[in-house]
C-alpha cells in the first residue's frame, strides 16, 4: 500500500464526517480564511482533499499549498457541529489539526516540501534550536544566555523548559517567568543541553526531526533525574502533552506543568505578592494553544484581575475563537504576509477597545502582534513581574539583543 493510500485509509471516515455534512461552520472562525477568503484554505476543503484523493481527483502535489494555510489554532474543531453535537454520543471529534500535520508529513515524504520550511528545519537540524534570529544562527552555546545573573542551577527534579523564541528572541518573557518562580521560592533547574521541543518541526511535517529532538530532551531530563517539567510556553505544552506521549507511550511519566497555571496558583496562595499598581488599560489575547487547544482561559484572566490598578477590558474566550496572531503552525515561515495581516486585524480589535496595551501569554504570538507597531504588546508574565516589583531585564526582540 502506498503512503498516500495509508493516509487516506487512516483519515477517510473522519473526512467523510465533514464531507457528508459540509456545513462549513468552521469557515468564518478560521483566522487564515478570514484573510484569504479562499475556500481551499478551509478545514472543509482539507477534509474534502482526502475524499478527492481517494477518488483519484487530486494528489499530494495538488493540495500541498492549500495545507500550508493553517496555524493549527484549533478553532475549526471547536466550532465543528460534528464535535459539538455528536461528540459524546458517538465519542466523535472532528480531527483537523492532526489531519493537517499528517498531510504535511506526507508532503515531506513524497517530495512535496515547501522551500522555507525545508530551510528552517535544515537549520534546526544543524543547530538544534529554531532559527528565530533570522540570518544570525542560534547555538547551544547561547541557549541559556537569557538567564544571565539569575543564578539558576542545572538539573534537579523540576526542570524549566525554555522555548526557542523565548530563549533567544523575547528573553524578557522567560526572565519574568523565572523570577516569578524564584520570588515564590519554587526550586527548579535548567537542562544540561536544551534542544527545541520538536513541536514546530512536527507541525511542518518533519516527523523524524521532531522525534530526534524529543528523544534528546527526554534523555536529558532522565539524566538529571527530572520528574516534573515546567512549560511556560503553550506550544511546548502541546508538544509535551500531545506529541511526546504519542512517541513514548507509557514510559513517558513526567508531570508537565503549564506555566500560567502554576503562577496563578502561586498568586492565589500568596506566594507571589502583586503589590505594585499598574495604572494601565489592557485587553487580553487568548493564545490559541491555551484557549482553543487546551481550554485554558480562566487562569490568565484571574491573574490580570489580581493586578492592582489595572483596568482590564475583557473579550470573552468564545469570541476569541476567531482571533489569532497567525504566529503558529509554521505559517509565518511560509506565508509571512498572511501572518502579518492576521496580527494586524487582531491588534485593531484591541485598539477598538481603547486600551494602551495588548497582553498575550504566548511568545510566538507576541512577535507578529508587536510587529504591527500600533499598540504595545506585553506578555502576561512581564506584566505580573512588574506588579511584583521585579526588574525583569532581557529583551523583546532580536534588535534589542544586538
Partner 1 sequence: MIAALDDAVLDELRAITGDADRVLANVSSRAFRTRVPAPFPVHRWGEHMPQVAVLPTSAQEVSEIVKLANRLNIPVVPRAGGTGLSDGAVPMRGRGGILVDVKLMNRIHEIDLVDRTVTVGPGINMLKLNEELRPHGVFYPDDPASYPCSLVGGRIGTGGWSLLGSRFGHTRDLVISMEVVLPTGEIVEIAEGGGRKLRKSSTGLTLKHLFTGHQGTLGICTEATLELVPRPETEFAAFFAFDDYMKAHRTTGALTKSGLATLAGVVLFDEWKLRYLRRDDEAYIPQPEDVRSVIAVAMYGRRAEVEPASKIVMELGRLNDGRYLGDEISQGDWASRHDRYATPLHGRTLDGQAVPMSWHCEDAALNYSVLPQVREEWHAIVDRYIREYGIFDDWGMFAYTNGAYKPWADYLVEIDVGIWEQRLDETNWDAWVRCKREISEVSLKYGGSMTACHGATREGDAELVPTEMGSSWEVVKRIKRALDPNNVMNPGKQSMDEAYE
- Return the residue of 6, 9, 39, 337 that touches partner 1, per CB under 8 A: 39
Provide the mask over 90-119, with x wherever binding to partner 1 is found by CB under 8 A and - wherever it is not.
x-----------------------------
Q: Does 182 bind partner 1 (CB under 8 A)?
A: no
Report the alpha-carbon distance of residue 51 to residue 13 in Å, rounded. Answer: 9
Query: Which span sits near partner 1 by CB under 8 A: 25-33, 226-234, 265-273, 327-335?
Result: 25-33
82 binds partner 1 (CB under 8 A): yes
Closest distance of CB 38 from partner 1, Å = 7
Residue placing its CB nearer to partner 1 in the complex, 60 or 132: 60
Q: Enter the C-alpha cell of residue 99.
A: 489531519
The SS3 of residue 286 is: coil
Written as one string, the DSSP assignment of 20-69 is: TT---TTTTT-HHHHHH--GGGSHHHHHHHHHHHHTTS--HHHHTTGGGS
- Taking a C-beta distance cutoff of 8 angstroms, is the pair 10, 102 a contact? yes
**Where in 252-281 is the site for partner 1 (CB under 8 A)?**
none
* Minimum CB–partner distance for residue 326 and partner 1 (Å): 18
Which range binds partner 1 by CB under 8 A, 12-20, 181-189, 239-247, 393-401? 12-20
Distance, in Å, from the CA atom of 198 to the CA atom of 174, rounded to the nearest integer, reads: 19
Which CB sits closer to partner 1, 84 or 136?
84
Q: At what angle do helices 380-387 and 298-305 cross, to 10 degrees?
A: 30
Instruction: Please report whether residue 351 would count as binding partner 1 according to CB under 8 A.
Output: no
DSSP string covering 89-108: HHT-----HHHHHHHHHHHH
Burial class (CB in 10 A: 0-12, 13-18, 19+), 187: exposed
Span from 43-51, 139-147, 263-271, 357-365 in contact with partner 1 (CB under 8 A)? 43-51
Count of residues of this chain found to bind partner 1 when the rule CB under 8 A is applied: 40
Find out whether 228 and 158 touch, Cβ atoms under 8 Å: yes
3-class secondary structure, 174: helix
Q: How far is CA 259 from the centre of its chain?
A: 13
DSSP string, 210-222: HHHHHHHHHHHHH
- Single residue of 10, 40, 116, 192 touching partner 1 by CB under 8 A: 40
Sheet holding 228-231, edge to edge: 158-160, 228-231, 255-258
Greatest Cα pair distance, the chain, in angstroms, is 64
Contact between 318 and partner 1 per CB under 8 A: no
Please report how close the Cβ of residue 303 comes to partner 1 at its closest, in angstroms. 27
Q: Is 354 in the site for partner 1 (CB under 8 A)?
A: no
Contact track, partner 1, 61-80, x by CB under 8 A: -xx--x------------x-
Report residue 317 as a C-alpha cell.
474566550
Confirm or reject binding of residue 48 to partner 1 (CB under 8 A).
yes
List 4, 86, 142, 224, residue binding partner 1 (CB under 8 A): 86
Q: Does 45 bind partner 1 (CB under 8 A)?
A: yes
Q: Helices 259-268 and 171-184 meet at what angle, rounded to 10?
A: 40
Contacting range for partner 1; rule: CB under 8 A; set: 11-19, 272-280, 334-342, 372-380: 11-19
Site membership for partner 1, residue 89 (CB under 8 A): yes
For partner 1, the binding residues (CB under 8 A) are 13, 16-17, 19-25, 27-29, 37-40, 44-45, 48-49, 51-52, 55, 57-58, 62-63, 66, 79, 81-82, 84-90, 319
Amino acid at each position: 500500500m502506498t503512503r498516500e493510500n495509508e493516509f487516506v485509509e487512516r483519515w477517510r471516515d473522519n473526512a467523510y464526517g465533514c464531507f457528508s455534512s459540509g456545513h462549513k461552520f468552521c469557515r468564518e472562525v478560521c483566522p487564515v480564511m478570514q484573510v484569504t477568503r479562499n475556500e481551499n484554505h478551509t478545514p472543509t476543503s482539507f477534509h474534502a482533499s482526502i475524499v478527492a484523493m481517494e477518488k483519484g481527483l487530486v494528489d499530494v502535489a495538488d493540495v500541498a499549498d492549500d495545507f500550508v494555510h493553517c496555524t493549527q489554532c484549533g478553532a475549526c474543531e471547536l466550532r465543528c457541529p460534528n464535535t459539538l453535537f455528536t461528540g459524546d454520543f458517538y465519542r466523535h471529534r472532528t480531527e483537523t489539526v492532526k489531519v493537517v500535520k499528517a498531510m504535511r508529513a506526507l508532503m515531506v515524504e513524497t517530495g512535496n516540501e515547501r522551500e522555507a520550511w525545508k530551510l528552517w528545519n535544515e537549520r534546526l537540524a544543524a543547530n538544534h534550536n529554531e532559527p528565530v534570529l533570522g540570518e544570525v544562527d542560534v547555538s547551544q552555546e547561547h541557549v541559556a544566555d537569557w538567564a544571565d545573573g539569575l543564578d539558576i542551577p542545572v538539573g534537579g527534579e523540576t526542570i524549566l523548559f525554555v522555548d526557542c523564541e523565548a530563549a533567544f528572541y523575547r528573553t524578557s518573557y522567560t526572565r519574568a517567568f523565572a523570577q516569578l518562580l524564584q520570588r515564590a521560592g519554587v526550586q527548579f533547574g535548567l537542562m544540561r543541553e536544551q534542544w527545541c521541543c520538536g513541536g514546530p518541526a512536527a507541525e511542518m511535517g518533519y516527523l523524524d526531526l521532531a522525534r530526534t529532538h524529543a528523544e534528546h530532551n527526554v534523555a536529558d531530563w532522565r539524566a538529571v533525574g527530572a520528574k516534573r517539567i515546567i512549560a511556560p510556553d503553550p506550544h511546548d505544552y502541546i508538544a509535551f502533552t500531545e506529541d511526546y506521549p504519542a512517541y513514548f507511550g507509557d514510559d513517558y511519566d513526567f508531570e508537565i506543568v503549564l506555566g500560567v497555571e502554576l503562577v496563578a496558583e502561586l498568586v492565589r496562595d500568596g506566594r507571589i505578592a502583586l503589590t505594585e499598581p499598574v495604572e494601565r488599560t489592557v485587553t487580553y489575547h487568548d493564545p490559541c494553544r491555551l484557549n482553543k487547544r487546551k481550554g485554558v482561559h480562566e487562569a490568565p484572566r484571574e491573574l490580570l484581575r489580581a493586578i492592582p490598578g489595572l483596568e482590564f477590558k475583557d473579550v470573552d474566550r468564545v469570541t476569541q475563537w476567531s482571533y489569532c496572531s497567525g504566529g503558529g503552525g509554521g505559517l509565518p515561515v511560509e506565508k509571512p504576509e498572511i501572518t502579518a495581516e492576521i496580527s494586524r486585524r487582531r491588534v485593531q480589535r484591541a485598539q477598538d477597545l481603547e486600551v494602551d496595551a495588548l497582553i498575550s501569554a504566548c511568545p510566538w504570538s507576541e512577535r507578529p502582534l508587536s510587529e504591527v507597531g500600533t499598540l504595545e504588546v506585553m506578555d502576561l508574565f512581564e506584566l505580573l513581574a512588574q506588579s511584583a516589583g521585579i526588574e525583569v531585564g532581557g529583551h523583546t526582540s532580536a534588535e534589542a539583543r544586538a
